[in-house]
């Protein structure tokens, strides 16, 4: 079924929704949706309107997509909530990572400022990552889109609210067994050069779990995807 | 520590190893290894020679890397053995997948011929994937390199030797809990269009597990990496 991103779900069942702009263009010209076809409008924050493409609005010059809304529903966010905060991979690898994190079910990603990190994403890159997160979340049918948050320091990362379990990925840790899972997890992944002894000491002081997520050395983006899949799966198998 | 791929470990402790060709060039010119530096020679099939770069062989024109071998060891393959057989992702995505599968610890990958698969890798591509597997395996310090096998049919995939647990990734399955793990796992991942009803029926007839590895739709390469991480982790946490 084709899905369209919208800012807000403002319709009730029986009402008509009119979509314009890029999303309408994509649906009409690229996906070539047809009258009578089922479609979903998603706000990326749990709101979903189901509907049917309305006949007679798909002429060659049509720039608007008309949808007759047949039902509106609201989905709860997934549990556990898994946040992935990482040092930033170089070049296009961060784009791929965001795309993959949306697919495996991370709730949020934030760039983490680490002692040995070398990439500091600028505003333009952060905006691009936000667009990738929206598109990837839509592609894989997420009711709640992957959130892209602002850069965080290690202090912020380790100073978690009650109920948030902070997990630091490091080869020195015990293999992740799921026993330390929680309804709200925050996973920290360090840069290619690894954590400094000071960062690991701060993690221990903050009572974070230090865990490993595989037998080998992984690049940032591979570790993020592999570990996220394991953290998310606790809920699925519980 | 710098690592060098060799065809065979033919030295004993105390002997000298002479490396030439691309691996010597990479070590001398790119990594700029220096006399006295520790180094590992790996055959990718469990054999590892540790040694020290020998003084006096690193002139500007040197094309050979001389290593004094200080010890030889043999590592066992990782358990469980996790084979990943997948429909082939398009374009560069298959390269990325091989690189990531090496990092998360897959033992082997084979391209799988499926009804809805659209990519049929040619000989040149298979050779390139083999080189990627060697390089990625070396990078992440694997004693046993990721094996790249020939194309397989669904019949071959489902007709497993005794002791091999075949797992078919599909959204219709139960979430993977690890309870059906085994010392030797073979994970099958279908094409973007999904398995056909006939393929799923054949999987059930062959008594394969049908399991899901995340809450959302994943592309082939993301599913491969996420599921592999979860299959490998059973051993780590056992």
- Name the β-bridge partners of B167: B187, B209
Whether B79 and chain A come into contact, CB under 8 Å, resolves to: no
Residues of chain B with pLDDT > 90, as a percent, come to: 81
Collapsed DSSP state (helix, strand, coil) of residue B50: strand
Q: What is the CATH number of the domain that holds B68?
A: 2.40.240.20
Whether A95 and chain B come into contact, CB under 8 Å, resolves to: no
Question: Distance (Å, rounded) from C-alpha A89 to C-alpha A67?
Answer: 40
CB atoms A233 and B213 under 8 Å: yes
Asked if the model's pLDDT at residue B236 lies above 60, the reply is no
- Name the β-bridge partners of A14: none
CB atoms B226 and A227 under 8 Å: no
On chain A, the residues whose CB falls within 8 A of the CB of B219 are: 103
Question: Distance (Å, rounded) from C-alpha A229 to C-alpha A233?
Answer: 6
What confidence score (pLDDT) does residue A174 get? 93
- Considering only the beta carbons, identify the residue of A99, A140, A229 that sits closest to B226: A229
Angle between helix axes B123-139 and B93-104 (nearest 10 degrees) is 40
For residues B190 and B211, membership in a common domain is answered with: yes
Q: Which domain holds residue A119?
A: 81-237
Contact A216, B144 (CB under 8 A): no
The pLDDT mean for chain A works out to 93
**Interface predicted TM-score (ipTM) of this complex, two decimals:** 0.90
Mean pLDDT, to the nearest integer, of B79-91?
95
Of B165, B203, B201, give the one whose Cα is nearest residue B182. Answer: B165
Joined together, the tokens standing for residue B207 give 């008594």
- Considering only the beta carbons, identify the residue of B105, B216, B230 that sits closest to A141: B216
For residues B222 and B167, membership in a common domain is answered with: yes
For residues B93 and B39, membership in a common domain is answered with: no
pLDDT bracket for residue A191 (50, 70, 90)? very high
For residues A109 and A19, membership in a common domain is answered with: no
Question: Distance (Å, rounded) from C-alpha B18 to C-alpha B15?
Answer: 10
Q: DSSP class of residue A27?
A: I
Mean pLDDT, to the nearest integer, of A198-217?
96
Q: What is the CA radius of gyration of chain B?
A: 20
Count Cβ atoms below 10 Å from residue B234 Cβ, excluding itself: 20
What confidence score (pLDDT) does residue A62 get? 75
Run of H or E including A19: strand A16-19
What confidence score (pLDDT) does residue B59 get? 66
CB atoms B233 and A214 under 8 Å: yes
- Pairing of β A47-53 and β A38-42: antiparallel
Asked if the model's pLDDT at residue A78 lies above 60, the reply is yes
pLDDT bracket for residue A57 (50, 70, 90)? low
- Choosing from A54, A74, A94, the residue where a domain stops is A74
Mean pLDDT, to the nearest integer, of A49-59?
81
Tens digits of residue pLDDT in B11-27: 999 999 999 988 998 89
For residues A145 and A57, membership in a common domain is answered with: no
- Considering only the beta carbons, identify the residue of B105, B212, B219 that sits closest to A103: B219
Cα B110 versus chain centre, distance: 10
* A57 burial type by CB count under 10 A (0-12 exposed, 13-18 middle, 19+ buried): middle
Tens digits of residue pLDDT in B33-62: 989 999 999 999 999 999 999 976 666 677
- Considering only the beta carbons, identify the residue of A100, A142, A229 that sits closest to B213: A229
What confidence score (pLDDT) does residue B58 get? 63
Domain total of chain B: 2
Asked if the model's pLDDT at residue A1 lies above 80, the reply is yes
CA–CA min distance A56, chain B (Å): 30
What confidence score (pLDDT) does residue A63 get? 82
What confidence score (pLDDT) does residue A236 get? 47
Angle between helix axes A93-104 and A220-237 (nearest 10 degrees) is 0
pLDDT bracket for residue B124 (50, 70, 90)? very high
For residues B192 and B132, membership in a common domain is answered with: yes
- Considering only the beta carbons, identify the residue of A226, A232, A233 that sits closest to B225: A226
What confidence score (pLDDT) does residue A211 get? 96
Question: Distance (Å, rounded) from C-alpha A66 to C-alpha A58?
Answer: 9
Asked if the model's pLDDT at residue A213 lies above 80, the reply is yes
What confidence score (pLDDT) does residue A237 get? 46
Tens digits of residue pLDDT in B132-160: 999 999 998 899 999 999 999 999 999 99
Contact A45, A8 (CB under 8 A): no
Asked if the model's pLDDT at residue A50 lies above 50, the reply is yes
For residues A48 and A153, membership in a common domain is answered with: no
CB atoms A214 and B237 under 8 Å: no
What confidence score (pLDDT) does residue A219 get? 96
Question: Distance (Å, rounded) from C-alpha A92 to C-alpha A74?
Answer: 34
For residues B89 and B63, membership in a common domain is answered with: no
Asked if the model's pLDDT at residue B115 lies above 60, the reply is yes
Count Cβ atoms below 10 Å from residue B141 Cβ, excluding itself: 14
For residues B207 and B131, membership in a common domain is answered with: yes
On chain A, the residues whose CB falls within 8 A of the CB of B236 are: 175-176, 212, 214-215
For residues A98 and A212, membership in a common domain is answered with: yes
Distances (CA, A) of B177 to A39, A152, A238, B212: 33, 33, 8, 9
pTM above 0.80, yes or no: yes
Asked if the model's pLDDT at residue B237 lies above 50, the reply is no
Give the A:B interface size as CB pairs under 8 Å: 111
- Choosing from B39, B74, B109, the residue where a domain stops is B74
- Choosing from B35, B58, B74, the residue where a domain stops is B74
pLDDT bracket for residue B179 (50, 70, 90)? confident
Contact A81, A107 (CB under 8 A): yes
What confidence score (pLDDT) does residue B1 get? 85
CB atoms B103 and A230 under 8 Å: no
Tens digits of residue pLDDT in A155-177: 999 999 999 999 999 999 999 98
Q: What is the CATH number of the domain that holds A183?
A: 3.40.1280.10
Mean pLDDT, to the nearest integer, of B101-110?
98
For residues A18 and A87, membership in a common domain is answered with: no
Q: DSSP class of residue A43?
A: -
Whether A41 and chain B come into contact, CB under 8 Å, resolves to: no
CB atoms B215 and A78 under 8 Å: yes
Chain B, window 128-157: residues with a beta carbon less than 8 angstroms from a chain A beta carbon: 139-142
Whether A229 and chain B come into contact, CB under 8 Å, resolves to: yes
Which of these ranges, A108-117, A123-132, B44-53, B173-182, has the smallest mean pLDDT? B173-182
Whether A18 and chain B come into contact, CB under 8 Å, resolves to: no
Asked if the model's pLDDT at residue A238 lies above 60, the reply is no
HEC letters along B91-146:
CCHHHHHHHHHHHHCCCEEEEEECCCCCCCCCHHHHHHHHHHHHHHHHHCCCCECC
For residues B67 and B135, membership in a common domain is answered with: no
């Amino acid at each position: 079924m084709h899905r369209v991103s919208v800012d807000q779900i403002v319709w009730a069942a029986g009402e008509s929704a009119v979509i314009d702009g890029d999303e309408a263009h994509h649906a009409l010209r690229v996906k070539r949706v047809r009258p009578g076809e089922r479609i979903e409008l998603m706000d990326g924050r749990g709101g979903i309107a189901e509907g049917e493409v309305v006949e007679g609005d798909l002429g060659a010059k049509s720039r608007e997509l008309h949808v007759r809304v047949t039902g509106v529903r609201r989905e709860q966010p997934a549990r556990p909530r898994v946040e992935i905060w990482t040092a930033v991979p170089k070049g296009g690898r961060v784009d791929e990572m965001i795309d993959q994190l949306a697919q495996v079910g991370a709730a949020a990603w934030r760039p983490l400022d680490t002692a040995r990190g070398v990439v500091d994403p600028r505003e333009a890159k952060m905006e691009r990552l936000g667009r990738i997160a929206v598109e990837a979340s839509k592609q894989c049918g997420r009711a709640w889109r992957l959130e892209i948050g602002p850069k965080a320091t290690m202090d912020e990362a380790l100073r978690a609210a009650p109920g948030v379990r902070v997990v630091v990925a490091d080869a020195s840790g015990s293999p992740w067994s799921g026993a330390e899972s929680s309804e709200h997890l925050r996973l920290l992944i360090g840069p290619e050069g690894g954590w400094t002894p000071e960062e690991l000491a701060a993690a221990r002081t903050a009572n974070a779990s230090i865990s490993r997520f595989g037998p080998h050395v992984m690049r940032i983006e591979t570790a993020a995807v592999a570990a996220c899949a394991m953290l998310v799966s606790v809920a699925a198998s519980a």
